[in-house]
Amino acid sequence: MTQPHMPDAPPAPEEVFRIYRNSVFRLAYSITANRDDADDILQDVFLLYLRKRPRCKNEEHRKTWLLRVTLNCSRSRVRSVWNQTVPLPGTLAEAGPDLPEDSVLTAVRQLPPLYRAVIHLFYYEDRSTEQIASLLRKNPSTVRSLLSRGREYLRNCLKGEDF
Task: List, as one string, the DSSP characters of 5-28.
Answer: P--SSPPPHHHHHHHHHHHHHHHH
SS3 for 28-50 is: HHHHHCCHHHHHHHHHHHHHHHH
Task: Give the pLDDT mean for 83-91.
Answer: 52
Q: Which of 121, 106, 20 is nearest to 71 (CA)?
A: 121
Whether 45 shows a pLDDT value over 80: the answer reads: yes
- Within 10 angstroms of residue 38's Cβ, the number of other Cβ atoms is 24
SS3 of residue 158 by DSSP: helix
* CATH number 1.10.1740 given to 9-80: yes
Q: Per-residue confidence at 37, pLDDT binned at 50, 70, 90?
A: very high
Question: So what's the pLDDT on residue 38?
Answer: 93
Every domain of the chain with CATH number 1.10.1740 lies at: 9-80
pLDDT band for position 66 (cuts 50, 70, 90): very high
* Average pLDDT, rounded, for the chain: 82
Contact 35, 64 (CB under 8 A): no
Q: What's the pLDDT score for residue 148?
A: 95
The amino acid sitting at 82 is W
* pLDDT surpasses 60 at 109: yes
pLDDT value of residue 132: 93
Instruction: Name which residue leads in pLDDT, 59 or 7.
Output: 59
Is domain 102-163 annotated with CATH 1.20.140.10? no
* Positions of CATH 1.10.10.10 in the chain: 102-163
